[in-house]
Structure 1
Amino acid sequence: MAPKCNACGKFLSAADKVTCTKCSGTHHRACVTMPQGSQTPAAWLCPSGQSCKASLPRANTDGTPIKGQPHTSSSTDSAVDTADVNLIQKFREEVKKASEECKIWREEVADIRSIMNSMADRLEKLEKRVEDIEQLRSSAVGVEGEANKALEVAVFQLKCELDERDQELLLNNVDIAGIPEEDNESVQHLVLACATKLGVPLDDRDIVSCRRVGLQVRLARRSTRDQLIKAARVRRGLNTEGLGLRAPPRLIYLNERLTRTNRQIFNKAREIAKKLSWRFVWTREGQVFIRRDHGAPASRIRSCGELERVFGKEAVCL
C-alpha cells in the first residue's frame, strides 16, 4: 500500500516523495517547499518530526564556522542552492522567450490591423462609387423612361394617323360575306344582283373593281356605297335566294371595308360587348363606335388599348 504524507495525510507517489533521514517520515515535496525535480539532500530532515529538524539544538556548533577560517557550506545546502539557481535560470529563459514571442505577435497584430484599416478605406470608397453609379443609373432610367413614354405616344399617334389615311382610301369599298363561291361564276354579276335585291340600281360603270376575297367591291362613288350599306342595314334578312346559285339559300352580310387594325378592334369590341351585354357596336365611315344602351353616350374606339378605358381592364382580359 502506498505511504501517506505526514503533513497532509494524502497518498504519495514515488516521484513526489521525500523521506526524512532521521524519522523515516514521508512528505510531499510541495508540503515541505522542495522544488519538483530537485535532488534530495543526503541528510534531509523533515520539519514536522518531534525528534528531527524541529528538535535540533539552537546553537549548532558543528555548522558554525570558526573565526579566522573561511566558511564552508555543507553539501546539502550547496545542492539545494544549485537546484534553485537552475530553476530560476530556466524560468527566466522561458519568460524571455515568451516576451520575444509576444513582441512578434504584437507586430503581427499591428500589421493585420493596418491591413484591415486599409481594406475598410477601400471598401468605403467602393461603396461610395457604387452609390454614385446607382444614382446616375437611376437618373438615366428616369430620363430614358420619359423619353420612351413620349416616343410611345408619338408612335401611337403616327399609327392612328396612318390607319386613318388607309381607311380613307377604303371609303368607297364594301365587303359582301355569305355568298358561296362556285365555278365559272361572274363576281360582277353577283354584285349587281345583290344591289338589285337591296333596291339600289347599279350598272357596270358603278363598279371599279371586285374580287373574290370573301367578296370585296370598290365602287366609283361614295354615295353609291352609302346607299348600299344603308339598304343592307334596313333589310336584315338579305339572302342568296334568286342569285342563280346551286347552294341552298344563305344570309348575306354587307359591311364597310375596314383596315386590318380597325377590323381587329371591331371584332374585339363585339366580343367584349357580347360578354358584358352591351347592345350596340357599329362602324361609320371606317370608325368603330360602341354604346351600352339606348340613350347612353357613344364612344369611339381607335385602338385596343382604348377598350380597357371603356370596358375596364378586367373585362378586356376575360
Structure 2
Amino acid sequence: MNELSKTKPNKMKFECCNRQQNSNEYIICSHCSKKYHYACVATTTTQFKELTSDLKVNWLCPECNRPRAGLDNSNTPIRAVATHANDKQDSLNVTVRNKHKVSKTSDTDLDALTPADVRQIIREELHIIFNAFQSKIETQLGNKISEISSQLTQVTESITFMEKEYEEVRRDMQQKIEVINQLESVNKNLRSYIQDMDSRLSQMERNSRASNIEIQGVPEHRNENLVTAVKQLAHTIKYNLTESDIHLCTRVSKIQKNSNRPRSIIVKFSCPRVRDGFLAAAIAYNKRNSNDKLNTSHIGMGGEHKPMYVTDHLSPSMKALHAAARVKAKELKYKYVWVKGGHVYMRKSDTSDYKFIKNMDTLNSLN
C-alpha cells in the first residue's frame, strides 16, 4: 500500500516539474511508484489535506493513466463525477469521456486523446467549477437578500409605528391649538373687561376725590390743629373759606414707608366748587409771589421756612402717571405738566396744543 510520505524528503526531483523533492505535499503513483508534486498534477480545487486514503493508494500518474492500444484498461481508476460544488471526493487526473465515445470503441480509437476529448474534459471541469461558484453565489445572495428583507420589514414596521405616533401627535396638537385659540379669545375679552373695569374704577376714584385737595410739606406736631392750619392757609391766599366748608381734614399714610417727608394732609371740602376755588387761589398766590411762595410760615409755624404744595388729591395710579409724565417732559423738553380734575396734561410750548395723558401707553407714544 502506498502512503503519503511524511519523512524527510530526499534530494531527488519530482517527475512532474523537475524540482527537488523539498515539499511534503506529493503523491505516489500506484503503478510506477514515481513521486509527483500535488500542486502540479491536481485537476480540482480539493486541498491536499482533504484527499482520502483510498484515493492516494489507487492514484495513477498521467503517464500510467493514459490508455494504450492492445491493453485492457478496464482496471484503470476513473474519477467519480462530482454531484455538487462542495463534493470533496473528486478524483485526480482522471478523464471522464462521453459514453458514446468511450464504450465499445475499437483499440485504435484509444491510441491517444483527441482535441475533442480535451475540449470535452475542459468543458466538464469548467461546468463543475461554474456550478460550484453559482451555488456559492446563490447561497450568499440568498442570505443577504433574507437579511435585507428582514431589515426592510423592520424599517417598514418602524415607519408604520412612527406614522401612527405622528397622527396621534398631530391630533393632539390640533386639539391644543383649538384650546389655545379659545383661551386667547377668552383672554382678549377678559383684558377688554379689565380695562373697562379699570376705567370705571379710575372714574370712581376721581369722583370720590372731586372735593379733595392734598397739602404736602407741612411738618407734623403732636397737638397740631389741621382745620386751623387750613383756615390760616385760606386767609393767606385770600380765599373766603368757612369752617362749614371743611368736611374732613386728616393726614394719610405714606406710600413709601422709609421716606423722611411728612405725611400729606387731605382736606375734603363741601363740594367740588369750593375745591376748585381754593386751588385757583393757591395757584394765583404763587404766581403773584414768585419769591415768597407758600411755605410753613404762612400757616403760623416758626423756625425754618419749608415749602408747601397744594394739589389735587390723586389716586396712587394717577400719582405714578403724573410722576412718569414729569420725567418724560424733561426727556422730550415739554414745558408744562399739570393736573386738573384728576387728569394729567402736558404742553410742549406756549403755542402748542396740550396733550391729555390718559395712561402709560399714551405717555409712551409721545415724541
TM-score range, shorter chain: 0.7 to 0.9
Q: Which runs of 5+ in 2 are unaligned?
A: 1-8, 90-130, 253-263, 287-292
Alignment CA distance shift 1:284-1:186 (3 Å): same
| 1:159 corresponds to which of 180, 185, 198 | 198
CA deviations over 1:124-144 (Å, ceiling 9, x no partner): 233233223333433432343
Contact 2:28 2:59 in 1 (8 A): no
The amino acid of 1:240's aligned partner reads T
* Residue 273 of structure 2 is aligned to residue 223 of structure 1: yes
Q: After TM superposition, list the pairs within 5 Å mapping 1:263-282 onto structure 2.
A: 263-282=319-338
Contact 2:337 2:345 in 1 (8 A): yes
Alignment CA distance shift 1:208-1:28 (3 Å): same
How far does residue 159 in structure 1 lie from its aligned partner after superposition?
A: 0.5
Q: Which runs of 4+ in 1 moved over 3 A?
A: 1-26, 39-45, 81-93, 95-116
Q: After TM superposition, list the pairs within 5 Å mapping 1:84-233 onto structure 2.
A: 89=87, 110=149, 113-213=152-252, 214-233=264-283
Name the CA distance, whole Å, in 1 between partners of 2:84 and 2:357.
Answer: 109
Contact 1:8 1:31 in 2 (8 A): no
What is the aligned partner in structure 2 of residue 33 from structure 1?
43
How far does residue 83 in structure 1 lie from its aligned partner after superposition?
A: 11
Name the CA distance, whole Å, in 2 between partners of 1:194 and 1:145.
Answer: 55
Contact 1:4 1:26 in 2 (8 A): no
How far does residue 105 in structure 1 lie from its aligned partner after superposition?
A: 7.6
| 2:72 corresponds to which of 64, 68, 71 | 64
How far does residue 274 in structure 1 lie from its aligned partner after superposition?
A: 1.7
* Other structure's SS at 1:161 match: helix
Name the CA distance, whole Å, in 1 between partners of 2:19 and 2:302.
Answer: 132
CA deviations over 1:51-107 (Å, ceiling 9, x no partner): xx29x996354x516xxxxx4x25xx27xx4797899645999x9999899878866
Name the CA distance, whole Å, in 1 between partners of 2:245 and 2:40.
Answer: 136
* Other structure's SS at 2:56 match: coil
Alignment CA distance shift 1:172-1:3 (3 Å): farther
* Other structure's SS at 1:131 match: helix
* Other structure's SS at 1:235 match: helix
* Other structure's SS at 2:276 match: helix
Name the CA distance, whole Å, in 2 between partners of 1:8 and 1:241.
Answer: 141
* Other structure's SS at 1:180 match: coil
Give the fraction of aligned pairs with identical amino acids, expressed as a percent.
19
Name the CA distance, whole Å, in 1 between partners of 2:214 and 2:151.
Answer: 87
How far does residue 44 in structure 1 lie from its aligned partner after superposition?
A: 4.2
* Other structure's SS at 2:196 match: helix
Contact 2:346 2:355 in 1 (8 A): yes
Q: TM-score, normalised by structure 1?
A: 0.74
Q: RMSD of the alignment, in Å?
A: 4.1
The amino acid of 1:146's aligned partner reads S
How far does residue 243 in structure 1 lie from its aligned partner after superposition?
A: 2.8
What is the aligned partner in structure 2 of residue 16 from structure 1?
25
Count residues with an aligned counterpart. Answer: 293
How far does residue 260 in structure 1 lie from its aligned partner after superposition?
A: 1.6
Q: TM-score, normalised by structure 2?
A: 0.65
The amino acid of 2:269's aligned partner reads L
Contact 1:265 1:303 in 2 (8 A): yes
Name the CA distance, whole Å, in 2 between partners of 1:180 and 1:266.
Answer: 24
Name the CA distance, whole Å, in 1 between partners of 2:163 and 2:18.
Answer: 68
CA deviations over 1:5-54 (Å, ceiling 9, x no partner): 87679998735334678696653425542642324356743x5xxxxx29
Name the CA distance, whole Å, in 1 between partners of 2:21 and 2:284.
Answer: 130
